[in-house]
Amino acid sequence: MKKLISALTLALSMAVSLAADAPTIAGKWEFMLEMSHGNRAGVLTVQQDGAKLSGAGELEKHGTSTMTGNIEGAKVSMKIELHGGSFTMLGTVEGDKMSGTTDPKGGTWKATRQIK
């Protein structure tokens, strides 16, 4: 019985530790997408449920699009559906800033959390 309780305690503490490793990025973010055919400013509205991300991306000259993604530690992946296609923003979170590259390749992006 003691071994079972110890094992359950260890498993619970590991789960809490893993959840604590992912930063909370829920909220609004101003972002800039830099592509070879021009730059676009926008706003990301992110909802977060543990490692799962969802929300919307409002991209200059393109309107509002659906966003889904995930976060593992400081690594973030957000897929934005746009005009029947999609692109993914891959990057890292550092406090109130995020940045990275796009997939398909060719672009970079950066985002700053909007102050409430």
pLDDT of 36-69, one tens digit each? Answer: 888 999 999 999 999 999 999 998 888 899 999 9
43 neighbors 31 (Cβ within 8 angstroms):
yes
Distance between CA atoms of residues 44 and 36, nearest Å: 21
Say if residue 104 is preceded by a cis peptide, omega within 30 of 0: yes
Q: Which amino acid is at 64?
A: T
Distance between CA atoms of residues 88 and 103, nearest Å: 5
Distance between CA atoms of residues 40 and 48, nearest Å: 24
The domain 23-113: what is its CATH number? 2.40.128.120
Domains of the chain by residue range: 23-113
Write down the pLDDT at residue 5.
57
> At a CB cut-off of 8 Å and minimum separation 6, what does 33 contact?
39, 40, 41, 42, 59, 89, 102, 107, 108, 109
Q: Mean pLDDT for each 10-residue chunk of the chain (116 residues)? A: 52 47 90 90 96 93 91 96 89 97 92 88
The predicted model scores a pTM of: 0.78
